[in-house]
Amino acid sequence: MARFHKQREEQEREFLEITVKISRVATVVKGGRRFSFNALVVVGDEKGRVGYGFGKAKEVPMAIQKASKEAKRNLIKVPLVEENTVPHTFIGKYCSSKVILIPAHPGTGIVAGPAVRAVMSACGITNILTKSFGSNNPINLVKATFNALENMRSKEEVEKLRGVAIDADTYGIPSQKEEEKVETK
């Protein structure tokens, strides 16, 4: 029994947990209003695995706990390149929210709004440019970001699908070594 608890504690420590949004909501009943809370949580291991969850409960800590449990069940794997960025530009959509993810050079940082920034930092992406259009509802923005990340393909996946080799120049951002070669010529 003690071993099981130890394993669970280690598993919980390996994930970064970010609470994106907490809201108080009310249900109108005959006797008045019943209040409850909902929470949107993003969970990631900072190595390319990330998930999100939405939890509801009468108390805030229970809502966060339910959301993080759901997020750990819905983890996805994101292809990352050496510069800790995404392999290529992609647009994610959910309802009326649209998010564009653009790879960036090392040292750029995460240029994003709070909802998208939470997903990127939980995923382990440190250099990225993003732009969101349409609805700025955090729930929709997180879902649009996940739509983009789920549909990302690594260079190896694209080569396998096409059956041809792809240059690093034509896929994603060029590395600094390649830029130095161009400058010396």
How many domains does the chain fold into? Answer: 2
% of the chain with per-residue pLDDT over 70: 83
Domain boundary among 76, 108, 137: 76
Q: Are residues 11 and 82 in the same domain?
A: no
Q: Which residues pair with 43 in a beta bridge?
A: 17, 51
In a domain, 182, yes or no: no
User: The domain containing residue 32 runs over which residues?
Assistant: 2-76
User: What's 92's domain CATH number?
Assistant: 3.30.230.10
Confidence of residue 118 (pLDDT cuts 50, 70, 90): very high
Listed in order, strand segments (DSSP E) in the chain are 16-29, 32-44, 49-57, 76-77, 90-94, 97-103, 110-111, 128-134
Confidence of residue 163 (pLDDT cuts 50, 70, 90): confident
User: pTM of the predicted model, to two decimals?
Assistant: 0.81
Domain boundary among 48, 76, 104: 76
Q: Are residues 98 and 145 in the same domain?
A: yes
Given a cut of 60, whether residue 184 has pLDDT beyond it is: no
Q: Are residues 38 and 95 in the same domain?
A: no
In a domain, 27, yes or no: yes
Q: Do residues 100 and 89 make contact, with C-beta atoms less than 8 angstroms apart?
A: yes
Domain boundary among 76, 97, 116: 76
Q: Are residues 29 and 105 in the same domain?
A: no
Q: Are residues 42 and 104 in the same domain?
A: no
Looking at residue 174, what is its pLDDT? 47
Given a cut of 90, whether residue 81 has pLDDT beyond it is: no
Q: Are residues 103 and 46 in the same domain?
A: no
Q: Are residues 85 and 148 in the same domain?
A: yes
In a domain, 185, yes or no: no
Q: What angle do CA 125, 126, 128 make, to 5 degrees?
A: 80
In a domain, 137, yes or no: yes
User: What's 34's domain CATH number?
Assistant: 3.30.160.20
